[in-house]
Structure 1
Amino acid sequence: MSRMGFPRIIAAALALATMTVGGVAIAQTQGGPISALKGHDSNAPINVESDRIEVQDRADRAIFAGNVQVRQAELSLSAERLTLAYTNSGKLEIDRLDASGGVVVRSPSETARGQFGVYDINRRLITLVGGVRLERGESSISGGRLTIDLESGRAVVDGGPVGAGERGGRVSGRFTVPQRGR
């Protein structure tokens, strides 16, 4: 790695402080399902650890591989691989994060899992795809894709392709209810 590439990596890690990565909860309100991330401090510092990092300056990206751990405030993301795409027009700006290989996103109250995850920083969207499962306590939702709009706080779970999984591409859920006297 060139001497010029190393400062870019440090700048990329620091620039991650402006991103939001996290777990999702589905809670019912008058406006519909919302994400628990709506109040998340996306300006909190972010720590990224991995077994390896590769900087591809000409392609404006950095690739973190092997046991990738990302942490911001109370949110964490783990995956086998994370590609960080950025623009460098005088200052480094992160555009997008792509995670793959058993992506797990956690907050104190929920866990979301999928095979792939994308965080589009400009659009403020987090998307998980591939055998998605969203858990909060003993309640859970499974589907093919989970999309979280960080601007509105809305979270949507879509079914997968028809014939995929045991539910034939449909969204399924199991929800706990308050225990009442009989």
Structure 2
Amino acid sequence: MTRHTFAPLLTLGIIGLLLGSAPVLALKGDASAPIEVEADRLDLDERAGTAVYTGDVDIRQGSMRLTGARVEIQRNDQGQLARASATGERAYIEQKPAPDEPLVKGWGRTIVYHVAERRIEMIDRAELHKGDNTFVGGYLEYFLDRRVVQARAEAEGVEERQRVRMTLDPEQQGAQ
């Protein structure tokens, strides 16, 4: 496995990707932690503002992690991260929102993070774990700032209907 470092694009990308601007949504040390990327290949197009990592991609920064067979990071015209997508049989994203909270973990065949909206989409065999609460379906959306989950049985472009299932811990409901 080859280790690639592309600091300018990746620094903007990963810090915006999972941390965002609200300090309650991630550990304070995550933003200053080293960014580590492992992949078999990197295809970078600075003019288009894209970096595409392929081959068992693993991106980490502090408590944050994004994995997939392929991860694409797209910048906008101002050079800021606009979107990050991970695809694979089980793409994965995780983040520890605060020292006293458990990791938030998400899976799907596709995971898309929309930076401006601070929204994560998990598509096809989607699954989200927030503490002891679990959400499963064909399509899940998680809004970071509002901590809102929306689930659907069907996802665009996915033929198989995947019914929504939830397991909620009644003791945590008052804290959510």
Q: Same fold (TM over 0.5)?
A: yes
Regions of 4+ moved over 3 Å: 107-110, 135-139, 174-178
1-structure distance, mates of 2:113, 2:130:
21
Task: Quote the residue 2:109 is aligned against.
Answer: 115
Aligned pair partner of 1:144 in 120, 138, 141: 138
Task: Quote the residue 1:97 is aligned against.
Answer: 84
- Deviation readout 1:110-152 (Å, 9 max, x if unpaired): 4221000111112211111001122356653210111111232
Task: Quote the residue 2:174 is aligned against.
Answer: none
Deviation of the 1:44 alpha carbon: 0.9
Task: Quote the residue 1:84 is aligned against.
Answer: 73
Distance 1:124 1:137, change over 3 A: closer
Mean alpha-carbon deviation: is it higher for 44-53 or for 95-104?
44-53
Task: Quote the residue 2:9 is aligned against.
Answer: 12
Q: Which runs of 5+ in 1 are unaligned?
A: 1-5, 23-36
Percent pairwise identity: 21
Aligned residues, how many? 153
One-letter code aligned to 1:112: G
- Aligned residue runs from structure 1 range 1-182, under 5 A: 9-21=6-18, 39-41=25-27, 44-45=31-32, 46-89=35-78, 92-101=79-88, 102-107=90-95, 108-136=102-130, 139-160=133-154, 169-175=162-168
1-structure distance, mates of 2:14, 2:106:
21
Answer with 1 or 2: which has the greater Rg. 1
2-structure distance, mates of 1:81, 1:153:
27
Deviation of the 1:13 alpha carbon: 1.5
Mean alpha-carbon deviation: is it higher for 77-86 or for 101-110?
101-110
Q: Specify the SS of the correspondent of 1:44.
A: helix
Residues 13, 47 of structure 1: 8 Å contact kept? no
One-letter code aligned to 1:96: R
Residues 38, 153 of structure 1: 8 Å contact kept? no
Mean alpha-carbon deviation: is it higher for 57-66 or for 42-51?
42-51
Deviation of the 1:104 alpha carbon: 1.2
Distance 1:128 1:64, change over 3 A: same
CA RMSD of aligned residues (A): 3.1
